Amino acid sequence: MQEKTQRITNTESYARGSESDSVDILPLLALDLKSSNKNLHIPALNRVLNIILKGPECLDEFYNQEIPSALQRFLGPKEQGEKYVLSTTILHIVGVYDKVSDDVVRANATIEPLIQIIHSPNEGRSKSACATLLSLIDDDIIQASLLSTGFLGIVHHTLTSKPEEQKKSSSSSEDGTVPNHVKLGLLEIVLKLAEGGEGLEPLAVLIPILEELKSKGQGKIKSKAKTIMNQLNGEGMATSSKSEKEKIERIRELEETVHRQEEELRKEKDELRKEKEEIVKLKEENEKLKPKLPQDLTIAIINPDIGDYFTTPEANGQLKISKRQDKWNTFSLSQILENGVYAIEAEFFNSHNGYGAVGVVRDTYIIPTDAYFTQNPHNQHMAAYSGQAWGTGGLVYYKGAPTVGNTSFADNQIVKAEYDSEKGTLIFFLAGTQQPVYISGIKEKVRFI
């Protein structure tokens, strides 16, 4: 029989198991994507992509788990990393699976990635995508999609963007300017559209910038703009009149004024927001400086074997935990340790020469019956300071590997474990004396064992 009395005083997530990538685990992956633990995001995105690639059968569960909403956090225009690549790829595949009935809209799924590549600062990749899109324009649906689903707006944006604007919105080159091969590629596509001869009215939006490039452009860009304008004129699309140009210029001036005013307003709002954030930060720091009194928490255990362990509350607020059977078993307290400093004190009785240990277990790990804390797989989820039955060196076990250096303990001695969630440390005390061997680098929620 072994008894243990404990007192707990109030003072981040392991990787999930490697379940097979099937639709059944989408709920778990959705939780990982919504988690504040950034280390979970990329593995979860890769697994969602693997599931999506298996076919459209997963779409109902994909939407039921609100995964598109979970991906929103990775889709900002300033995102450039792996999370952005995986998220946009997933949504692109799902969009294609959904089989939009409008052929013109559906064709945009083909066009959009090619337009992205055309804007690449790598000239070879850009030209390859341009050649591919040029070969597709002979298809009437692709041509209609280019003329009506936003491509011309992108062309207008790219040809009219000023370097200072591009620096804020693009990383296409070091000085912020759009490479000439990108502009030439877009103009090649516009020329191919203009040579189609039908439904060219949407191209009128490009006439002002084409006129400007025709007169002020340089080299191949100027020549290409001139060729496009000649083609449009040949199709009966007259250039803008002087008055129209004046109106357009006036509109541009007004837009620049509005843009400048909006920029000034944004800066003022940013300054105000920073001031508010500074106030909040100072208040939080002041709160941290205030002394905090220890707070006793209710003690309860997660009992993996009710036939072995039973508990008895004591009048002094302590909890007696008794063991009926002579076999290996490990249990944890129910309190999740996060956002603070926590300590547990334990005193063993009838432990047969120190068959006891105190430590922590990952909150995500469920301890089974007959678990021995130094054996696989349990030792990969636990860390503990063991009694003298494991040797006289006061062994500290981490992932099954022992480290000597602490004083070993036995019956009738108070052993204390103290966990600091901010520092990520677990230190040990024996009879009030801090022991030299401790554990650091804990970055997740844990529970005492």
pLDDT at position 21 over 50: yes
Of 297, 344, 336, 305, nearest in space to 322 by CA: 305
Highest mean pLDDT among 131-140, 205-214, 344-353, 355-364: 355-364
pLDDT tens, residue by residue, 296-313: 677 889 989 898 889 888
pLDDT at position 8 over 60: no
Contact 393, 404 (CB under 8 A): yes
Task: Assign domain 23-235 one CATH number from 1.20.1070, 1.25.10, 1.10.10, 3.40.1010.
Answer: 1.25.10
pLDDT tens, residue by residue, 312-346: 888 777 889 989 998 889 999 999 999 889 999 99
pLDDT of residue 96: 86
User: Residue 187's pLDDT band (boundaries 50, 70, 90)?
Assistant: very high
Under DSSP, is residue 270 helix (H, G, I), strand (E, B) or coil?
helix
- Residue environment code for 236-262, b if the CB has 16+ CB neighbours within 10 A, otherwise e: eeeeeeeeeeeeeeeeeeeeeeeeeee
Distance CA 441, CA 443 (A): 6
pLDDT at position 242 over 70: no
Rounded to an integer, the average pLDDT of 21-50 is 92
Contact 192, 230 (CB under 8 A): no
Q: Write the DSSP assignment of 66-110 as a string of letters.
A: THHHHHGGG--TT--SHHHHHHHHHHHHHHHHT--S-HHHHHHHH
pLDDT of residue 243: 55
Rounded to an integer, the average pLDDT of 218-245 is 77
Least confident stretch, 61-65, 294-298, 344-348, 395-399: 294-298
Under DSSP, is residue 177 helix (H, G, I), strand (E, B) or coil?
coil
How many residues in the chain? 449
Peptide bond into 202 cis (omega under 30): no
Using CA of residue 50, residue 51, residue 54, residue 60, what is the dihedral sign?
A: negative
pLDDT at position 14 over 60: no
Bigger pLDDT: 6 vs 60: 60
Rounded to an integer, the average pLDDT of 123-130 is 92
CATH topology of domain 297-448: Jelly Rolls (2.60.120)
Could you tell me the residue ranges of all domains in the chain? 23-235, 241-293, 297-448
pTM over 0.85: no
Distance CA 327, CA 444 (A): 30
